[in-house]
Homo-oligomer: A and B are copies of this chain.
Amino acid sequence: MSAEERLERATRLCAGRGARLTPQRARVLRILIEAERPLGAYEILAEMAEGQRALAPPTVYRALEFLLAQGLVHRLETLNAFIDCRHPERPHPAQFLICSACGRVVEIDDEAIAARLLDAATQSGFAASRKVVEVIGVCEGCR
């Protein structure tokens, strides 16, 4: 799926929800999609500054907040970075494989893991809301 197609899908999803994917927000999303790797907020900021007057951090953080709420991007806690979601149609508990050698990130969507985790939380009396699962390792190509 090309970058353009993914952007169009995002536009469609937001339209269907009455959410406003403004040019600014779409620009942040585009940067993330085209990067094909996780980007820190300040990396995005630097991208956006290219050829324009510099923007301030809250601009990027607010756009990211929107995109996170719409499920169009995920936050990687171990990297303090953001990556676009490959299956933004519906909310899902995502798991990430992060290569410590090349930085590549793979999003997997393993229902069994999510279910087992939910189960363990319930057994401990927790009502789970957000599940953060990130595996740091070395990808196939880097071995």
Contacts and interface: CB of A to CB of B under 8 A. Distances in A.
A65 interface: no
A62 B58 CA distance: 32
A135 B133 CA distance: 8
Q: How many copies make up the complex?
A: 2
A95 B110 contact: no
A78 interface: yes
A59 interface: no
A135 B118 CA distance: 8
Contacts of A55: none
Interface of A: 77-78, 95, 97, 99-100, 106, 108, 110, 112-113, 116-117, 120-121, 124-141, 143
